[in-house]
Structure 1
């Protein structure tokens, strides 16, 4: 949405500020523009108009959440990038940050630890570390789940409690957002410990489930249920949900 002019974006946002939409408490905007074109918020011809729109959202009692995609701390390490963050924050909006772990780009714990430290210092809120989706040139960018988990575990140790808002590693998969809680051994079997942060059925959330350890797995679909089970606990209901949607 941030490729639009401020006046065009206002056509979508301003109607949501009317009384009939009081039940909408948060307006969330996902964008990578803060990293690749921070000038959008500083020197573009309608940058001030854009920030006034953000201010209007906050003044109307809504929470404005900018979901900013940063893959590397270098994207934060320029004056213009930091100025853009500062200007957005003066409107009352909050910036939450997220990104996937991408091989050859940010597949080191130090990179993530330093990025989260910088984000907290600049007033941003680390939000998600994602597992790279199974799309596009995935064979070049994908990383085994066990390595992604190790990167997260080591990176989160490098930040204070203010940076430990970052949840991960998370797979945005068909049944929902699945978090890798860790690796354990139960009844002599090495397993991935998983849980849902968001799910098609909210009752699935925060219910631990287990997958057989696979050092080569890169996505939820590569995993098999542990302990000889034929399905994960949610799969039968997921099939019913998807069938109903097709009717």
Structure 2
């Protein structure tokens, strides 16, 4: 590591240590107060690269990367902020703890049935850190990867980072995953997620992945990561970068598709020289880099930013994959936008890019029932409607089924949509028996 600049050495900061940096003094007293209060509820972690390279300090608090990484008072409801501020001033430790826990509960820590419907069992035992929502794909949460190089303020996995073990998905090793996959040969893809698996050193990451290479029915290994944006040095200058890239090559040589699911929210993240080098290094191993992110109020509402992000990604060899809708969790009241607006942004950006960037799909909602695409806003039989379609579903028979919801310019999430044409329910809401029959994760394996 000798000879590396300050921005090439990974140096994280939390809500306490950030106060020791010159960046803290650039915050107004109001922003410092908000940081002190909101960071007690929502996790905060950043690093020197984000602070020194990505954030435009002449544009705070409106800089998009600043909004993505620093807490804002409006992330709490006004009454929550005021009451928590009062309790902090009173130094009432127990009351502060109870108030924070109540806010966490209000924020829906595990949306879309993650805790109640996505878990798996094997021989009567619940397997920790494994989710199986869709037939072909299993999610794996390695215990050593349940943090990130920096935290996003809007992250739907915020409950992984607040120190409450009962809210956390966490697997200590991969043997239970391998045992589960040996029984469930319908699974072709494993998504290693977190947190961020790339926070692990290469040896730890290999210990989780290499046992999977022996499974012939497993075709693809995906790694979900924000490191391509928040710490691209992971693929270029980190001490064990050569070992990491060699691991990628071994995965590809074993006949598996390796897809790095890169979380890019704004074009500034991919415009840095080190970020472009990271893309080149990843691709040199035979891995594919895909780009995905939610559309977020205060951060990436400009269609031109999305078009620039996708176009630059394609130029570098990455594949635009998803624009997501902000989930109904955490401070979604602050970050979510009406579905109609999300569609307008996607459509405006999509219209300006070439066919090579039109691999992207969106806006997509990861709902309890599956991934629901907003395919359009149309007038059908005299009624203005959202045109919706399942891209993925708990019941595979629902995939690519088109259905319609009444248009509502204010709705921000799927659960608040109502069926069009006077229907009482969507077609899939009367099929409870379909879930245990078609989702093997809900069945105990003998």
Q: Name the TM tier (shorter chain).
A: over 0.9
Deviation at 1:186, TM superposition (A): 1.2
The structure number with the bigger radius of gyration is 2
Output one character per residue of 1:85-143: Cα deviation in whole Å (capped at 9) or x when no partner: 10010000000010000101001111101110000001000000000001111111010
The residue that corresponds to 2:251 in the other structure is 57
- What aligned pairs does 1:230-245 form with structure 2 within 5 A after superposition? 230-238=424-432, 241=435, 245=442
Q: Which residues of structure 1 form unaligned runs of 5+?
A: none
Residue 155 of structure 1 corresponds to: 349
| Cα deviation code 1:55-83 (max 9, x no counterpart) | 00111111100000000000001110000
Shift of 1:239: 7.0
- Paired residue for 1:127? 321
Aligned to 1:146: 340
Correspondence list, 1:145-184, <5 A: 145-184=339-378
Aligned to 1:28: 222
Instruction: For structure 2, list consecutive stretches of 5 or more residues without a partner in the other structure.
Output: 1-196
* 1:241 CA displacement: 2.4
Match of 1:225 in 2: 419
| RMSD between aligned residues | 1.6
SS at match of 2:431: helix
CA contact (8 A) 1:39 1:84 kept: yes
Which whole-Å deviations, capped at 9, do the CAs of 1:165-214 have from their partners, x for residues lacking one? 00000000000000000011111111000000000111111111000000
The CA distance in 2 between the partners of 1:119 and 1:84, in whole Å, is 12
Tell me, in whole angstroms, the C-alpha distance in 2 between the residues paired with 1:238 and 1:210.
20
Distance 2:226 2:430 in 1: 37
Give the aligned partner of residue 200 of structure 2: 4
Q: 2:210 aligns with which of 14, 29, 53?
A: 14
Superposed CA offset, 1:144-179 (max 9, x none):
000000000010011100000000000000000000
SS of 1:234 mapped into structure 2: helix
The separation in 2 between residues aligned to 1:48 and 1:159, in whole angstroms, is: 35
Measured in 2, the distance between the counterparts of 1:222 and 1:199 equals 19
Q: Which has a greater percent of strand?
A: 1
Cα distance in 1, alignment partners of residues 409 and 433 from structure 2: 27
Q: Check whether the contact 2:395–2:434 (CA below 8 A) recurs between aligned residues.
A: no
Task: Report the counterpart of residue 98 of structure 1 in structure 2.
Answer: 292
State the Cα distance separating 1:238 from its structure 2 match. Answer: 4.2
Q: 2:310 aligns with which of 110, 116, 123?
A: 116
Q: Does 1:211 align with 2:405?
A: yes
Q: What secondary structure is seen at the aligned counterpart in 2 of 1:23?
A: coil
Shift of 1:236: 1.3
Higher relative contact order (CA 8 A, sep 6+): 2
Q: Deviations over 1:10-46 (max 9, x none)?
A: 101111122xx01111111001011000011111110
Q: Distance in 1 between matches of 2:393 and 2:261?
A: 20
Measured in 2, the distance between the counterparts of 1:88 and 1:246 equals 38
Distance 2:341 2:266 in 1: 18
Query: Is the 1:175–1:238 Cα contact (8 Å) retained in structure 2?
Result: no
For residues 218 and 186 of structure 1, the distance between their equivalents in structure 2, rounded to whole angstroms, comes to 22
Assess, with a 3 A threshold, how the Cα gap between structure 1 residues 66 and 134 changes in structure 2: closer, same or farther.
Answer: same
The structure 1 residue matched to 2:331, chosen from 137, 150, 154, is 137
Query: Whole-Å Cα distance in 2 between the matches of residues 242 and 133 of structure 1?
Result: 25
| Aligned CA distance change for structure 1 residues 13 and 169 (closer, same or farther; 3 Å) | same
Using the TM superposition, give the Cα deviation of residue 215 of structure 1 relative to its aligned residue in structure 2, in angstroms. Answer: 0.3
SS in structure 2 of the partner of residue 2 of structure 1: helix
